[in-house]
Amino acid sequence: MYAKGEYVVHPGQGVCKVEDVTDGPDAMYKLMPIRNTHALLISFPAANESRLRPVLSRDEAIAIIEGYPTLEVDDFTDHSGAAEEEHFKAQMKEGTCNDSVRIVKTVRQRIRRARDAGRKPPVIYERLLREARERTLSELAVALESTPEDVQELFERQSPEEGDEE
């Protein structure tokens, strides 16, 4: 079980702080999402604990940032924007921080290609980029005991062209 004060990754809300843990047959975690601007305490059944995962370690976070330049992009494509969005959102919900980083890199590349071709990128790309970026930066910031802005700077030092879309 996770303990009060620990950080976990909730599949839908991203990084949350465990505010409380109740005991008994209906044991619950009380989780506070860290990137939510509105105070929204989530009650999450301890019986579903396997759907939560711990936040990365500091070493894992550093490895992800350092590995960014060589990280492969996701080659999933579909003519339906809705299918692409569903694919990437499922990866964010059920995957790792590295999966979210891969989504950021993939979507940035697709946005860049559209702009280079003189086209406006699909709106879903902007939505996916924003969500994956927020999830990534918040988890890495907790792991590194830093801020999302500082983590963004670390990524930009690894791959300076990645700051171009901001």
Domain boundaries, the chain: 7-54, 58-165
Take residue 116 and report the two structure tokens written for it: 């280079």
pLDDT in tens, 75-93: 998 888 899 999 999 999 9
CB-based contacts of 137, cutoff 8 Å, min separation 6:
148, 151, 152
pLDDT in tens, 121-161: 999 999 999 999 999 999 999 999 999 999 999 999 988 76
pLDDT at 161: 66
CATH of domain 58-165: 1.20.58.1290
Bridge partners of 30, per DSSP, are 20, 43
Lowest mean pLDDT segment, chosen from 56-65, 107-116, 146-155, 156-165: 156-165
